[in-house]
Amino acid sequence: MGKTTTRKRVVKRDMPTPRLVAKVRELTGLSVAQVGQLVGVDRQTVWKWQHGAPARARHLVDLRLIISKPAEARELAVRAERGLLHLGSVAKLMKALQGTR
C-alpha cells in the first residue's frame, strides 16, 4: 500500500514584485507615501518593496485589493490626506466606501 500524505497549506511571507507595486501606482496614480498609508506602512517600506524586499502576506492582500478597485483606493487616499478619515484595514474601508455611494 502506498503511503498517503497530506500537505499542509503554508502561509509564508511573500515578496511583492516591483511590478505589483508599480501596477498599484500606475492604476491609482498614488505616490509611494500614499500607497504606504493605504496598506499601513511607511513610504520607505513601499520603496523597499519596489526594489525587491519581502512583505507580509497581509500587505500583499491589500495591494491586490487596491489593484482590483483603484478608484476606491484613490478616493480613500485623498480622504485620508485631507484628514477626513483614519486608515485602518483597507478591505474594511473599501467596503464602507462602497456603501456610501
φ/ψ region of 23 (left if φ > 0, alpha if ψ in -120 to 50, else beta) reads alpha
Query: pLDDT digits over 34-84, tens only?
Result: 999 888 899 999 999 999 898 888 888 889 888 888 998 898 888 888 877
Query: pLDDT digits over 7-30, tens only?
Result: 443 334 444 578 899 999 999 999
Distance of alpha carbon 65 from alpha carbon 35, whole angstroms: 12
For residue 31, what is its C-alpha cell?
505616490
Q: Is 36:42 a contact under the CB 8 Å cutoff?
A: yes
Half-sphere exposure of 48 (CA within 13 A, CB side): 11
What pTM was estimated for this model as a whole? 0.71
Distance of alpha carbon 22 from alpha carbon 97, whole angstroms: 24
